[in-house]
């Protein structure tokens, strides 16, 4: 890989990635594997296109909608806590997509973890990067790093503090290590100052980080701010 980036160097000062004509080793390998798989009839170009379309349609907005609806509708919240996969259908998310039996990697066991004023959940997958894609989209890169996976289970309060979240000792922090076939999402406590808000207004403050548990929703906080490492050829920039 020709782009010299040292992981873990802080990374806050990345220059914009240069426009590069050169094709990287992994780009080449990806094309070779995909083309050979299609040539050998292991899957079709149409399969690939259809799954890509689904992958590009998912994102954390669905999770935000689910949390907002649970905040305003106690009966819906009960349904979410009882059978989250089923409740997802009410906000337009079908975990059986895009194959009819779900994706191979996300399974169909979703559990929503409800925070209280004295209990805060935070999610990690120490073994890989298990994440509820149908509801939250693709996991952020930091969630996949060995750093987050090594440290969160053992030093959760330090890691949360690095995300800007400091909780008092009397609040129980419950780390959920998502290591098998359940997928997890945090249902945060509805913050003060949001009385009489509409579901749309509420959804805006339920960011992805709030649903992983590394941030808390609050009025005025509508985005997760992290340094951004730019792609050389981002999704959508080229189609071959």
Partner 1 sequence: MRESESRGTPPAAAGKARFKVGDRVRVKDLPNLFYSRTQMYVRGAVGTIAACTYQDLIPEDEAFNRDGRIEQYYIVRFRQKDLWPGYPFDNDTLQTESPERWLEPADD
Partner 2 sequence: MAGREELVQQQEIISFLQPALHMPQNWNYELASPVVKAYLHPPHDVGGQFDVPAIYEEKEEEQWELNTYVTCEVLGWRGIWNSEERRRRADNDLGYAMYLGIPYYGRWILAAARMLVDKKHIALSELIEKIAEVKARYARK
What are the catalytic residues?
125, 128-130
For residues 175 and 122, the answer to whether their CB atoms sit within 8 Å is yes
- By CB under 8 A, tell whether 57 contacts partner 2: no
Q: What whole-number distance in Å separates Cα of residue 29 and Cα of residue 70?
A: 44
Which of 57, 116, 118, 158 binds partner 2 (CB under 8 A)? It is 158
- Residue 176 binds which one of partner 2, partner 1, none, with CB within 5 to 8 A depending on kind? partner 1
- By CB under 8 A, tell whether 189 contacts partner 1: no
Which ranges of 91-187 would DSSP assign to H, the alpha helix? 133-136, 141-144, 146-152, 156-162
The pattern of x and - marking residues 53 through 92 that bind partner 1 according to CB under 8 A reads ----------------------------------------
Which of 61, 138, 167, 171 binds partner 2 (CB under 8 A)? It is 138
In whole angstroms, the minimum distance from the beta carbon of 223 to partner 2 comes to: 11
The DSSP bridge partners found for residue 187 are: 114
Q: What whole-number distance in Å separates Cα of residue 168 and Cα of residue 204?
A: 26
| Encoded tokens for 166 | 């400091």
In whole angstroms, the minimum distance from the beta carbon of 238 to partner 2 comes to: 6
The pattern of x and - marking residues 30 through 49 that bind partner 2 according to CB under 8 A reads xxxxxxxx--x-xx---xx-
Burial (CB count <10 Å: 0-12, 13-18, 19+), residue 53: exposed
């Amino acid at each position: 890989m020709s782009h010299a980036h040292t992981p873990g160097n802080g990374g806050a000062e990345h220059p914009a990635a240069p426009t590069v004509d050169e094709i990287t080793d992994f780009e080449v390998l990806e094309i070779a594997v995909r083309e050979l798989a299609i040539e050998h009839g292991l899957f079709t170009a149409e399969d690939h296109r259809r799954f890509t379309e689904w992958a590009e349609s998912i994102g954390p907005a669905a999770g935000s909608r689910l949390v907002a609806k649970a905040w305003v509708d106690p009966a819906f919240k009960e349904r979410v806590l009882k059978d989250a996969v089923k409740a997802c259908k009410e906000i337009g998310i079908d975990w059986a997509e895009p194959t009819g039996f779900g994706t191979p990697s996300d399974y169909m066991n979703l559990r929503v973890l409800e925070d209280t004023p004295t209990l805060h959940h935070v999610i990690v997958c120490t073994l890989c990067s298990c994440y509820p894609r149908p509801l939250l989209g693709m996991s952020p890169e930091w969630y996949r790093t060995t750093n987050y996976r090594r440290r969160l289970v053992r030093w959760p309060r330090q890691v949360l503090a690095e995300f800007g979240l400091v909780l008092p000792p009397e609040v129980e922090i419950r780390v959920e290590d998502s290591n098998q076939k359940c997928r997890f999402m945090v249902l945060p406590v509805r913050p003060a100052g949001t009385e009489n808000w509409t579901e749309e207004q509420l959804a805006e403050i339920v960011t992805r980080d709030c649903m992983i548990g590394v941030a808390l929703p609050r009025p005025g906080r509508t985005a997760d701010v992290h340094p951004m490492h730019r792609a050389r050829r981002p999704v959508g920039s080229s189609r071959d």
